[in-house]
Amino acid sequence: DQQVKQNSPSLSVQEGRISILNCDYTNSMFDYFLWYKKYPAEGPTFLISISSIKDKNEDGRFTVFLNKSAKHLSLHIVPSQPGDSAVYFCAARHLGKSTFGDGTTLTVKP
């Protein structure tokens, strides 16, 4: 049973437009949700997180939205830049351990 799912394996957007990456989860015990970015040959890098008691968290160009009733979160990147091209993982945390989705490869075209 995969507790964290990213149903879109890839996403392509034009530079300057909005990128929206989606993630669904099944375990209502998760207390934090996090997004990571990963470049080839590097470890994942933390981007932004949101507590389960909030519905929005913003940090610069990155905003994460949480819909607890739908068990859904999304990451918005505005405006998208070519340097944002990477694999994005969502993760959900419970008791200090994180469960990761399969990742979405974002390509931002100049």
Partner 1 sequence: SAVISQKPSRDICQRGTSLTIQCQVDSQVTMMFWYRQQPGQSLTLIATANQGSEATYESGFVIDKFPISRPNLTFSTLTVSNMSPEDSSIYLCSVEDLRDWGPYGYTFGSGTRLTVV
Q: Which of 42, 69 has the CB closer to partner 1?
A: 42
Number of residues that bind partner 1 (CB under 8 A): 23
For the beta carbon of residue 73, count every other beta carbon within 10 angstroms. Answer: 25
Strand, coil or helix: what is 83?
Answer: helix
Q: Which is nearer to partner 1, 43 or 83 (CB)?
A: 43
Q: Pattern 11-50, binding to partner 1, x per CB under 8 A? A: ---------------------x-x-x----xxxxxxx-x-
| Residue among 33 and 71 whose Cβ is closer to partner 1 | 33
Give the whole-angstrom CA distance, residue 60 versus residue 43: 22
CB of 20 to partner 1, least distance (A): 20
Q: Which member of 8, 22, 74, 98 binds partner 1 (CB under 8 A)?
A: 98
In the chain, the DSSP E strands lie at 4-5, 10-14, 19-25, 32-38, 45-51, 56-59, 62-67, 72-77, 86-94, 97-100, 104-109
| Torsions phi, psi for 41 (to 5 deg) | 65, 15
Q: Name the site residues for partner 1 (rule: CB under 8 A).
A: 32, 34, 36, 41-47, 49, 51, 89, 91, 93, 96-103
